[in-house]
Structures are given as structure tokens and as C-alpha cells.
Amino acid sequence: MQKRIIALLLVVLMVVLSGCAGKTTEPSKTNEGTEAVKTQVIKVAFNQPENHPQYKAMQQFGEKVFERTNGAYKIEIFPNELLGPQRETVELVQTGAIGMSIVANSLVENFNKKFSILGLPYIYDSKEHQNAVFTDDTIVGDLFKSTADNNFIVLTAFHAGARNVYTNKAINTPADLKGLKIRIMESDTNIKMMKYMGGVGTPMGQGEVYTATQSGVIDGGENNELIYANMKHYEVAKVYSYTQHLMIPDLLIINKALYEGMSEEHKAIFNEEIKNATTAEVDLWEVDAEVAKKTAQDNGAQFVYPDIKAFQESVKPLHDELTQDPEFKKLYDAIRAKAETVKK
């Protein structure tokens, strides 16, 4: 714990000494005689490794932005929680210590509960449906700007696979989850979701899941195949059951002043390129998830495929509860209506 605090202080110090990410400028290389373009470096916090599809999509975004703004903006990604766990990086973005971070939707729900609609269990029919929602400004545009009072806005929502439960036994029905403590992300909606699904949701940061499962503090977790394999969770929870309960996105957040300080032309480039990266990431995901699954299987993990109908039924009260507010219901209906426009 103490080590972690010291590490975090060092990170903050590093960021501060480097002149505040997102505000750092460096002259970009120009031919002699031409006027130097000032390059603004935007630091992006990311809690997963360089092989992750979101990292690759952000790299692509960075290249395009650099090229199309003629070197005015350079995107620098810090993977593997180098700038701290997600919750803390939200604060770094809010203060402007860093420019951007990729954080789970669940964390942003704590600023505006309406985001919980984007993270409802079984709300999307497919990843294509989800992508159509995330790239449609008439559905998500206002929502993404709604956190401006908290000094950040959301630039996009990235696909993050489907989440499935893993523990040391097969989960085929909600009854199989009875009494099991399953780690969930830190949000009220997730706690309720796990209760409706039959288990006991235990919120904690992703980095603590391995040890907590190993020591028996929890019985397992729920996550996509990439985390299950990359973080070697299969070593402590051997059965991965395809409950497919959540297709919850990760949000790319940006410091408000940084975004608002851009010219209209640059804003348009950011918006266009982030939509391209959002769509490209969905395809990258498929390939990487297969590789991750194979790695887990090779290391002894078992994959089981329950009939998900009982789980879908079990979480319906959560849909009803969250759509009581007419504004929430409007967003919910727009998401569901979009499903009809997407070929299955």
C-alpha cells in the first residue's frame, strides 16, 4: 500500500516536472527557414498493456491527429497503470495534470448517473449495435459533454468486449452464483447487477483481483477474455462462464480546458479521428480476444457456455429502476431503437 502511494506521488511529480501533460509544448521539426510549429503533447493514462486493442486504436488516433494538425498535437500513451489506477487518473485529468485518460464507464457514472444506461447489462444486441450507438452524436453527444462542470468531457466510448463471470466452478444459472463474492467495478449499478444475477458484488480496483481471489477474500471476478488472460486470473479462477452480462464501454476523457482551447478546425479533426479509431478498435478486439482465450485454455482454463436467458430475466428490474427518470428512459429507448437499424 505504502509502496503504491510512493509510486503514485512519483508519477504526479514526474508529470508536474514535465510541465503538465496536455500543456507541454515542444517545437516540432521543420525545414530550415520555415516557422516552427509548437507541438502540444497530450499525455494519456491507460491501465492496460501495449498489446491491448484500445492502445492500438489510440496509437492510430495519435498518428492521424499529428498528421492532420500538422504537428500541433502529439498523443503520448502511458500504459500499464504507469500514471496510476483509473480512479486517480480521472482526478489528474480534472486538474489538467494530464490531458486524457481511458477509464471504465462505471467510474464516470459517479459524476453523472445517466452514464449507467450505457453500462446496463444486456442493453446491446451486438458489438455492431454498440458501435452504432457510440458513433451517433444524436444519441451520445449531449451525454458526453454533460461532465463539463467536473472539468472533463468524454471524447468517445470504446468497446471493451463482453464481460463474463469466472470462479472455480461453472456458472450455468443465477442459482450457481448464490453466496459467491464476485469482484465488480466500482459503481452502484454494478453492485445491484450482481445481486440480481444471484451473487454478491464486491467492488475493488482491477489490480487487486488476483490476490483477493487467491487469498479467498473473493470467489472470482467478471471481465473480458483479455483481462482474464493478461492478468493471469485463470491461475486463481479456472472456470470462465460466458454469462455475457455486460458490454460496458471504456470512456476516453479529456481535460475540459484543453479541449475547449482547441481551434474549431482541430476539434473537428479530433472528433472525426476518434470516431474512426472507435470503429477500428472493435475489429482489433475480436482478434485479440481469441488469442487471449487460447492462452487461458493452454494454461488449463475451462470455458463454459450457459443459456443466458435466466440471467437476462434476472436483471430486468435494474432496467426498470433506471428508466424511471424520463431523461434516462429517452436515452435507453434511443439505444434500443438503434438495434433495429443494425444488421444482425
Site of interaction with ligand GCU (CB under 6 A): 47, 86, 104, 160, 185, 206, 223-224, 227, 250
Residue 39 or 224: which CB sits closer to ligand GCU?
A: 224
Three-state DSSP at 323 gives: coil
Residue 130 or 223: which CB sits closer to ligand GCU?
A: 223
Residue 139 or 185: which CB sits closer to ligand GCU?
A: 185
CB of 206 to ligand GCU, least distance (A): 3
CB 22 within 8 A of CB 42: yes
- Distance between CA atoms of residues 55 and 171, nearest Å: 31
* Grid cell 456458472 in the structure block, residue: 171
CB of 268 to ligand GCU, least distance (A): 27
CB of 217 to ligand GCU, least distance (A): 16
Burial of residue 336 (CB within 10 Å: 0-12, 13-18, 19+) is middle
Residue 45 or 72: which CB sits closer to ligand GCU?
A: 45
Distance in angstroms between the alpha carbons of the first and the last residue of the chain: 47
**How far apart, in Å, are the Cα atoms of 12 and each of 8, 19, 31?**
6, 11, 35
* Grid cell 500504459 in the structure block, residue: 79
- Distance between CA atoms of residues 177 and 38, nearest Å: 56
DSSP per residue, 193-212: HHHHHTSEEEE--GGGHHHH
Residue 206 or 243: which CB sits closer to ligand GCU?
A: 206
CB of 11 to ligand GCU, least distance (A): 17
Residue 47 or 255: which CB sits closer to ligand GCU?
A: 47
CB of 148 to ligand GCU, least distance (A): 22
Q: What is the maximum span of the chain, computed from C-alpha positions, in angstroms? A: 73
CB of 54 to ligand GCU, least distance (A): 7
Q: Which residue is nearest to ligand GCU (CB)?
A: 206
CB of 248 to ligand GCU, least distance (A): 8
Q: Where are the beta strands (DSSP E) in the chain?
A: 24-27, 38-45, 73-78, 100-104, 152-158, 163-167, 181-184, 200-203, 221-223, 239-246, 250-255, 302-304
Residue 20 or 185: which CB sits closer to ligand GCU?
A: 185
